[in-house]
Amino acid sequence: MNNWLTICNITDIAPNTGVCAKVGEKQVAIFFHKRTDALYAISNYDPIGKANVLSRGIIGSIGDQLCVASPLYKQHFDLQTGTCLEDPSVHIDVYKVRQNSGLVQIHQ
């Protein structure tokens, strides 16, 4: 099934930052990495700090891995796999996301 949900315009996301989208009952953090012109989507819930805050973290790279640092206690989550770099036993969900004629869309 081809089920893409439009969230917002790409210009609604400031370069190299994130926003939080409501997708059904889920909270999804979507990041726009301007330098590589790529979008990433992961769960907004920080399982370590136990709050819905990841979209408000700073993104960057550790070695070759693109990641976001939780604004609460600064653990890093890989934007592509959802793995926590400090504790690889912790994973969060990742979602498919795309740019489609200037629109940001999430695959449901």
Binding site for another protein (CB under 8 A): 7-8, 12-17, 19-22, 27, 30, 33, 35, 45, 47-53, 56-63, 66, 69, 71-75, 86, 90
Rounded least distance, CB 102 to another protein, Å: 15
Rounded least distance, CB 107 to another protein, Å: 15
Phi-psi region of 50 (alpha: psi -120 to 50; beta: other; left: phi over 0): left
d(CA 58, CA 105): 22
Query: Three-state DSSP class for 71?
Result: coil
- DSSP structure class, residue 50: T
Rounded least distance, CB 25 to another protein, Å: 9
